[in-house]
Structure 1
């Protein structure tokens, strides 16, 4: 059966509870969370929590929503990060050097990143977005580029690697209201990687929750 956004979020919340309780390491949590948001069917979701109890001490995590269960995050959570504010420059260049775009920068509708004998870092975990759909074009020639996205962002990777690599493992749906980010371009004698990772704030929240559990 096809999985819904609410079911993916329910599995994600169970994983957050598990890492806060010390049942999963942070590495296991990030790996399973990435798989949860990329899952298309119940068969892909269920193995991610098969060895975990349900939050609150239940026997197992269920994909069937129980009465009174919390809803998935509202679209308004993402809406506050779409539109408004000054937009960052549409181009980033690293020639025999590097560039960074990270923190609370605003991603323009069309953003082009170019690296030649150099490298670049594009981090969207705390970014704002000019529009609900943006395109990031990455061109790496004899260089490398890393794109980091939050686990709940809608991401579609469609680049090409020629004698190089263009990693598409982070492709997958996000939570309701998430901006849609398309990562395109090509790598020639170089590489472009796209990874899903939790934000620093999320990591800190999980650590604090785990400390409270241990007190």
Structure 2
């Protein structure tokens, strides 16, 4: 008899971060269309991020018209990942701007959970030279009549699933999955304000660090 393990059924396959984020987007869209309440969305998102297999994700969208099994994840991008990105203690756990502005940039260490709040003000977060305390980091962004800009480099994996109401929660960077890289999940809410995730501008002659995109 062979000692090889049995081939798992499709629903028994382990779910990837991209699988979970795909389902989260379907749920956010369903709430925006009035198919789910905010409470239902929160309950299902808790189950999404706790899911370990494809089979655990499938029931969460079964009663929605867009429900479908998670599609195969695209091949990971080949990007050189610095070996010094992870480690150390977080140097700042929040950035709050109330009728003012604040910035987090340069060489700093991001804790597992970081909160960014802009109320009639602006917050700039630059992860280009940042380190991360853990391999997975969550940035919770809340903008009320204010703006939050988050600059992300190519060598980290970024997932964006925030919600905008009379405002915008935009992923202009579109940085996908990078093998072996730190994972940053950016979530939150923008009301009459904006949260934008973007890439850094290319260096210009005489500039010491990347500029934020305009």
* Deviation at residue 186 of structure 1 after TM alignment: 0.5
Show the counterpart of 1:79. Answer: 83
* Aligned Cα root-mean-square deviation (Å): 2.6
Q: Deviations over 1:13-69 (max 9, x none)?
A: xxxxxxxxxxxxxxxxxxxxxxxxxx947xxx9xxxxxxxxxxxxxxxxxxxxxxxx
**Unaligned stretches of 5+ residues in structure 1:** 1-38, 46-70, 205-215
**Unaligned stretches of 5+ residues in structure 2:** 1-72, 206-214
Which of 179, 183, 186 pairs up with 1:183? 186
Show the counterpart of 1:109. Answer: 112
- CA distance, structure 1, for counterparts of residue 129 and residue 136 of structure 2: 16
* 8 Å contact from structure 1 (residues 150, 198) kept in 2: no
What TM-score, normalized to structure 2? 0.56
For these two proteins, the number of residue pairs brought into alignment is 133
* 8 Å contact from structure 1 (residues 166, 191) kept in 2: yes
What TM-score, normalized to structure 1? 0.56
Moved over 2 A (4+): 168-176, 197-200
- CA distance, structure 2, for counterparts of residue 141 and residue 114 of structure 1: 8
Which of 133, 136, 156 pairs up with 2:136? 133
* Deviation at residue 143 of structure 1 after TM alignment: 0.4
* 8 Å contact from structure 1 (residues 161, 187) kept in 2: yes
Show the counterpart of 1:151. Answer: 154
- CA distance, structure 2, for counterparts of residue 176 and residue 199 of structure 1: 23
- CA distance, structure 1, for counterparts of residue 82 and residue 136 of structure 2: 12
More contact order relative to length (CA 8 Å, sep ≥ 6): 1
Secondary structure at the aligned position of 1:78 is classed as coil
How do 1:187-198 and structure 2 match up within 5 A? 187-197=190-200
Show the counterpart of 1:100. Answer: 103
- CA distance, structure 2, for counterparts of residue 199 and residue 124 of structure 1: 15
- CA distance, structure 1, for counterparts of residue 192 and residue 176 of structure 2: 30
* Deviation at residue 152 of structure 1 after TM alignment: 2.6
Q: Deviations over 1:116-157 (max 9, x none)?
A: 010010000010111110000110000011000012321000
- CA distance, structure 2, for counterparts of residue 78 and residue 175 of structure 1: 12
